[in-house]
Amino acid sequence: MGVFALDCYVLILHGSNVLEFINGLSTNKVDKTCTTVFTTEAAKIIDMCEIIVKPDYVAIIGHGPYKQNVLNHLNTRILDSDITIGDATANNEVLLSTSDIEVGIGVTKIETFRGHIIIAPIGKGPSPTMTEEDFSNYRVDQMIPHQGHEITPDVHPLACGLGHIAHEDKGCYIGQEIIARMRSRNRQGRELVRLPNDEGEKPTTIGLTHCLEIRRTNNG
């Protein structure tokens, strides 16, 4: 398909227990580079983020409009931990490639369920080749949720297709009790579905022939 320019923030965290800190606040088991979700006590999404572990720091890549909410969430919980946060958003561009392409020196590339995420200094990344419409078609075809569409502060991770990054036995994190209860009772309320365009009632993303929608499940 190609390369799409994402609207992302790039936070750089330094400190001796950054991974432990992020692990305690998000859904996935964060002990290496991975995708995770920061959730509220009500298990509603604050943002889905890529966590990139580097030798000297940990980077958090999330959706631009949700940056301040994530910063507020992190800041109030740093307390007296040995953690500092830097904002490298202005220095970097973040792109998604649907295939594994070569990138230059100084460019970071990770494989995720969405595709290959590329973080490059401004002007050093590959040129975008996909339009917003192309990206929507790609996401609908692959059933990939995206911030601002399916991934919003109104839903919990299970409802928007992020159950695979809500680890089942990692232990406590904010919102964990609610997600565990929904799973154990098999009552997640809503789920992400892919439908023909003419069957969508409130589509969150519309593709050429199909759309994505978050629908109430039959089991409530």
Partner 1 sequence: MDCNTCEAPSTVVINAPEQIEVSLTISKMAKEMLENAFGDDRSQALLIGVLSGGCSGYMYDLQIVESTDQDCQELVVDGFRVLVPNATSHLLDGIEIDYQDRLMGGGFKIINPNASSSCGCGESFA
Residues that bind partner 1 (CB under 8 A): 10-12, 21, 23-25, 41, 52, 54, 59, 71, 75-81, 84-88, 90-92, 105-108, 119-121, 124, 172-177
Radius of gyration, CA atoms only, the chain: 17
CB of 55 to partner 1, least distance (A): 10
CB of 89 to partner 1, least distance (A): 8
User: Which CB atom, from 177 or from 199, has the smaller least distance to partner 1?
Assistant: 177
Query: Tokens at residue 1, please?
Result: 């398909």
| Residue 37 exposed, middle or buried by CB count within 10 Å (0-12, 13-18, 19+) | buried
Q: How many residues does the chain have?
A: 220
Nearer CB in complex with partner 1: 174/182: 174
Q: How far is the CB of 128 from partner 1 (least distance, A)?
A: 18
Question: Cβ of residue 14: shortest distance to partner 1, in angstroms?
Answer: 10
Q: Which one, of 179, 152, 178, 186, lies nearest residue 163 by Cα?
A: 179
d(CA 28, CA 44): 15
Cα–Cα distance, 165 to 126 (Å, whole number): 28
CB closer to partner 1 out of 61 and 155: 61
Q: Are 126 and 97 in contact (CB under 8 A)?
A: yes
Q: Give the Cα separation of 203 and 200 in Å (integer).
A: 6
Identity of the residue, 174 or 214, whose beta carbon is nearer to partner 1 in the bound complex: 174
CB of 198 to partner 1, least distance (A): 43
The whole-angstrom separation of Cα 202 and Cα 191 is: 13
Judged by beta carbon, residue 176 or residue 188, the one nearer partner 1 is: 176
Q: How far is the CB of 158 from partner 1 (least distance, A)?
A: 16
Structure token digits, residue 112? 């995720």
Cβ–Cβ under 8 Å, residues 9 and 93: no
| CA 141/CA 49 separation, integer angstroms | 22
Nearer to partner 1, 32 or 105 (CB): 105
